[in-house]
Amino acid sequence: MGNLDLATLVAIIRSSDDAIITKTLDGIVTSWNPAAERLFGYPAEEMIGRPITLLFPADRLHEEEDFQRRIRAGQRVDHFETVRVRKDGSHLDISVTLSPVVDAEGRLVGISKIARDISEEKRTREIARRLAAVSEASPVNLKLDDLLQSLLRLVQEFLHADTVAFLTATPDGSAVAVRATIGLEYSVANETPIPLGVGFSGRVAAARRTTYLSPVSPGDVASLFLRDSGIRTLLGVPLVLEDRLVGILNVGWRSERPVSQDEIDLVDRVGSRAAVGIDRANLFASLERTKSELEARVDERTAQLREVNAQLEAFASTVSHDLRAPLRGMHGLAQALVEDYADTLDPLGQTYARHIVAAAERMDLLIQGLLSYSRLSRANLVLSSTSLDAAVADAIEQVGALVRAREGRLSVQQPLGQSRAHHTTLVQVLANLITNAVKFVAPGVKPEVRIWTERHGNRVRLTVEDNGIGIESHHLTQIFKPFERLHGEEQYMGSGIGLGIVAKGVERMAGRVGVDSTPGKGSRFWIELPSADA
């Protein structure tokens, strides 16, 4: 301080924007600078010698006692935010800093107080808080209209506006239409879109520039409602997002008034928030439209598929009925020839008849396989916890005659456990696997079949191992397709559809199927099903 003379200090205090006041330890004002006069509305002569508590609202009188106690204790009060009353009775948000004043001997003689007007700062913080609250609430659980209404209220409140309106751009971008208003006796539905370039709103939208107009004359506005509302000052802000005009925000006052840069900034911020909301709502609406279009198409396709399915069902029924009838005629009558006319038919004739019987039997197997396959593809399978032991036992019983005829030996490593499956389908799958295991052995070899299960994570793998002829590796991928045959009819009779049924059945039970094979040694066919507790 030694470098500054008193005159300089006084000049600094007098020119300060902050109120600088000194008072006695008892709170009597001893100095009052011009900023204090401006801030509180009291001239210096009215305050000097009077208690500082004149400025205090009734509910804050206790603050002064507290300040005095802290100063006496040698403490400072730093940036304490509070409220004071001006001479005209209005309230003022201030931040105060209090320090002790000491004389040359170091004795405490008074208190200095610096007060700053923070009403603008508080307002800015409040706007930020309100905008943040609106942002947090949207967009999922806040409808666009609710969002716009809260933004309208915010603008009206902070700018003391008489009318505020959001206009959104029409889909083709050629006009703007009123979407939400506050302060207008207004029916949104009655207002026709305003073309770009027409009236105040149309000009703001076309120029994409923030526009201020005061005084407003009736010819300046296109909207009849706005024209009749007595608005004298208008502020229009374009809402632009990534170079697209989303809409405009109009603020109106019934008085002629200037608009500050702060006010324009606030409207701009509200505008960008609204632009995002409107854009999202438009996007959502177009998504909804696409979704309903897609749903309509899915419905249509489902109906077509249902129709095709019904036709397939009819086809399967026709196959089962119509193809088998003539077949039974051929088979039955050829058999009748063999049995009833053995005396009159010579050996070659009998051979012919026997071949007719065998051919008819093969064709019947093929038709039955086709029917099983198509039924398996169409059936609605309900999966539940199923005993693999019971399924294997049923399958063995079904193919028992074949196993005995081939002198096959089956060994099952019980217990096999449980899996999620459909019993009848599982039995069908297993019967086909066992049939294959027994059937495809080299001439003179007695079939040996082993069945066991292992746990693989949340799946159960059941393996059927045989000592058959095995499968060349380049055939492994095709064997599960229906109607693929690897062997000539003479050698191994079958419909060629057995493994197709296995693959389809396992697929319908949410399982997998596979095979490991060594030609000449045998094959291991396995199926994996979800375990019962998975």
Q: Candidates 65, 66, 288, 322: give the one binding other proteins (CB under 8 A).
A: 322
Alpha-carbon distance of 151 to 370, in angstroms, equals: 68
Alpha-carbon distance of 25 to 71, in angstroms, equals: 8
CB-based contact 173:203 (threshold 8 Å): no
Q: Candidates 258, 321, 346, 488: give the one binding other proteins (CB under 8 A).
A: 321
Question: For the window 364-393, what string marks contact with other proteins as x by the rule CB under 8 A?
Answer: x------x---x------------------
> Is 309 among the residues that bind other proteins (CB under 8 A)?
no
For helices 324-340 and 347-378, give the axis angle rounded to 10 degrees: 150
The CB-of-375 to other proteins minimum distance in angstroms stands at 8
Using the rule CB under 8 A, give the single segment among 12-20, 40-48, 318-326, 447-455 that binds other proteins. Answer: 318-326
The CB-of-335 to other proteins minimum distance in angstroms stands at 4
CB-based contact 392:472 (threshold 8 Å): no
The CB-of-322 to other proteins minimum distance in angstroms stands at 8
Alpha-carbon distance of 507 to 377, in angstroms, equals: 10
> Is 332 among the residues that bind other proteins (CB under 8 A)?
yes
Burial zone of 205 (CB within 10 Å; 0-12 exposed, 13-18 middle, 19+ buried): buried
The CB-of-431 to other proteins minimum distance in angstroms stands at 17
The CB-of-376 to other proteins minimum distance in angstroms stands at 12
Alpha-carbon distance of 205 to 199, in angstroms, equals: 10
Alpha-carbon distance of 319 to 315, in angstroms, equals: 6
The conformation of residue 192, written as its DSSP 8-state character, comes to P
The CB-of-332 to other proteins minimum distance in angstroms stands at 4
281-287: Cβ within 8 A, 24+ apart: 281/139, 281/144, 282/246, 284/139
488-496: Cβ within 8 A, 24+ apart: 489/362, 492/439, 492/440, 493/362, 493/365, 493/439, 494/365, 494/435, 494/439, 495/362, 495/365, 495/366, 495/368, 495/369, 495/370, 496/366, 496/369
> Is 307 among the residues that bind other proteins (CB under 8 A)?
no
Q: Candidates 324, 354, 475, 512: give the one binding other proteins (CB under 8 A).
A: 324
Nearest to 156 by CA among 181, 176, 124, 120: 181
> Is 398 among the residues that bind other proteins (CB under 8 A)?
no
Nearest to 514 by CA among 361, 450, 522, 506: 506
Using the rule CB under 8 A, give the single segment among 114-122, 220-228, 229-237, 335-343 that binds other proteins. Answer: 335-343
The conformation of residue 193, written as its DSSP 8-state character, comes to P
The CB-of-394 to other proteins minimum distance in angstroms stands at 19
Using the rule CB under 8 A, give the single segment among 20-28, 336-344, 430-438, 522-530 that binds other proteins. Answer: 336-344
> Is 333 among the residues that bind other proteins (CB under 8 A)?
yes
Q: Candidates 207, 305, 312, 336: give the one binding other proteins (CB under 8 A).
A: 336
> Is 317 among the residues that bind other proteins (CB under 8 A)?
yes
The half-sphere exposure of 240 on its side-chain side, counting CA atoms within 13 A, is: 13
Nearer to other proteins, 83 or 356 (CB): 356
Nearer to other proteins, 169 or 360 (CB): 360
Using the rule CB under 8 A, give the single segment among 24-32, 36-44, 199-207, 310-318 that binds other proteins. Answer: 310-318
Q: Candidates 177, 316, 476, 532: give the one binding other proteins (CB under 8 A).
A: 316
Rg of the chain on CA atoms, in Å:
47
For helices 347-378 and 261-318, give the axis angle rounded to 10 degrees: 160
Nearer to other proteins, 372 or 467 (CB): 372
Nearer to other proteins, 364 or 484 (CB): 364
Alpha-carbon distance of 165 to 170, in angstroms, equals: 16
Rounded to 5°, the CA angle 294-297-299 comes to 110
Nearer to other proteins, 91 or 328 (CB): 328
Q: Candidates 326, 400, 415, 519: give the one binding other proteins (CB under 8 A).
A: 326
> Is 328 among the residues that bind other proteins (CB under 8 A)?
yes
Interface positions with other proteins (CB under 8 A)? 313, 316-317, 320-322, 324-329, 331-333, 335-336, 339-340, 360-361, 364, 371, 375
